[in-house]
Amino acid sequence: MQVITPDQRYIVVRGRLWRAANPNLSPEVRARLVDELMNARREVKFASQANDEDRLAAARAAVNKAKVALGERGPVWWTDGAKDFNRHLVKNTPYADWFASVEDSQD
């Protein structure tokens, strides 16, 4: 099950929080950055298949750059000072009760 937290900061995948893209990005900017991310991920695959370490490093850097621009990595995009729970198990965060109720409603 994959759901987004009520504050739109995270998606939950297999019980783990992953920072969501900044919802304040314009649709055009978001689409461009997602295209860049997908292209970079494809390049990671091709570089890996070719055993080209330099190409692979550049492709991974491009993935990271796109994810930072999207707000999925790097500084948080929210401004209220809330802690970043990226990659935490949801059960160990303030989202635990919310997620338990979501799981219960899915049964």
How far is CA 7 from each of CA 58, 66, 78, rounded to the nearest angstrom?
34, 22, 10
Give the domain ranges of the chain.
1-20+80-107, 24-71
pTM, full prediction: 0.86
Instruction: Let me know: does 15 contact 80? Beta carbons within 8 Å.
Output: no
pLDDT tens readout for residues 1-54: 579 999 999 999 999 999 999 999 999 999 999 999 999 999 999 999 999 999
Q: How far apart are CA 99 and CA 37, in angstroms?
A: 29
pLDDT tens readout for residues 71-106: 999 999 999 999 999 999 999 999 999 999 987 776
